[in-house]
Amino acid sequence: MSADQKPQFQAKRIMLAALAGGALAAVANTALFLLLSAVGVDFVIQADPSAPAAAIAVPNFVVASFLPALLAGGLLLLLGRFTTKARAVFIIIASVFALLSLGGPASVGGARAGTRVALAVMHLLSAVIITGALVRSPKAKVGTTPASVDS
């Protein structure tokens, strides 16, 4: 297969999938936050060692869901330009980043064990939702460029 025949991802579809994945992850994490808050998880952390511990606000969960989704969409587009196995490579990279992201909840200051576990679950939930949304996004047909395929 020549370079111009590689399956190419359509940027519009990938970014829509990233936005959908980010939105679904934001909704899922917000719902989990509300549920866990209702059963006693306090979601109090000390983000800065020189500042007092404070509760995590709901908008933080939304931003923390959308930003990785957009970055992941960009990564998948980039991989699609260089390999015909972009989805497989993307899944491996996404899995590694998901595991590395658990370091944040594990090391955040001022958090109780329940908060750390809840945040770790939220990280994994986001990773699964975002990766799933992007991996299921459609590709252009082999031998075409993204611009020549109907959206």
Q: Positive or negative, the Cα torsion across 107, 108, 111, 116?
A: negative
The per-residue pLDDT for range 8-28, each reduced to its tens digit, is 688 899 999 999 999 999 999
Sketch the domain layout of the chain as residue ranges. Answer: 7-137
Look up the pTM and report it: 0.84
Rounded Cα distance, 109 and 10, in Å: 41
Residue 32 has pLDDT above 50, yes or no: yes
The number of angstroms, rounded, from the C-alpha of 112 to the middle of its chain's C-alpha atoms is 24
The per-residue pLDDT for range 87-105, each reduced to its tens digit, is 999 999 999 999 999 999 9
H-helix or E-strand spanning residue 11: helix 11-38
